């Protein structure tokens, strides 16, 4: 059974003792603004999937901001635990894919593996092109357009792992 009575104040003051960073104060507490994704970015992502005339309430953006930030922390924490057990300090894309699968998000993990594979292929091609004399801006723009589609795929408002995996 899941406990829905989460102490949000405790979450906000989650102590990352030993974590060094610009967001943590002297007491080791991470500020809420450093714990959450920027709300403007969250709103922009939400707006991409909605019809052009749709509005999004501030409450909806804040709720999604909390959920997305918590999801990222949840998956990253699982990946970090794996790295710690393997005595590694760096979490990589494969660790995130593993964590997604281990947490039951198998379809998301598969989609992310495909994305990561394509990303690595393109990065390898770029590295090879740079070694052989570099590429001009026009070639780089064409190369990036193969990787990043400017056309946003439309999926239903109820996002399932299946619809997510169709995007990648």
What are the residue ranges of helices labelled H in the chain? 8-12, 32-35, 39-49, 58-85, 93-102, 106-131, 137-147, 161-167
- The residues, any chain, with a CB within 8 Å of residue 68's CB and separated by 6 or more, are 37, 42
Half-sphere exposure of 156 (CA within 13 A, CB side): 6
- pLDDT in the model for residue 47: 96
Contacts of 164 (CB under 8 A, 6+ apart): 107, 108, 111, 155
- Beta carbons of 83 and 91 less than 8 angstroms apart: yes
Quick one: pLDDT at residue 141?
Answer: 54
pLDDT average per 10 residues of sequence, the chain (168 residues): 43 39 59 86 96 96 96 96 96 96 96 95 91 62 48 41 48
Cα distance between residue 168 and residue 166, in whole Å: 5
Rounded to two decimals, what is the model's pTM? Answer: 0.61
CA 17 to chain centre: 24
**pLDDT value for 25:** 55
pLDDT attached to residue 129:
87
């Amino acid at each position: 059974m899941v406990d829905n009575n989460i102490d949000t104040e405790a979450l906000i003051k989650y102590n990352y003792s030993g974590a060094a960073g610009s967001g943590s104060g002297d007491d080791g507490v991470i500020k809420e603004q450093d714990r959450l994704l920027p709300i403007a970015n969250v709103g922009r992502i939400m707006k991409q999937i909605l019809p052009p005339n749709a509005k999004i309430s501030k409450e909806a953006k804040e709720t999604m901001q909390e959920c997305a930030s918590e999801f990222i922390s949840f998956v990253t924490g699982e990946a970090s635990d794996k790295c710690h057990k393997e005595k590694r300090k760096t979490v990589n894309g494969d660790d995130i894919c593993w964590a997604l699968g281990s947490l039951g998000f198998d379809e998301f993990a598969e989609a992310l593996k495909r994305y990561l594979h394509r990303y690595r292929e393109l990065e390898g091609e770029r590295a090879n092109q740079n070694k052989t004399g570099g590429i001009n801006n026009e070639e780089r723009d064409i190369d990036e357009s193969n990787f990043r589609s400017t056309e946003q795929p439309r999926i239903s408002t109820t996002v399932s792992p299946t619809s997510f995996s169709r995007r990648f």
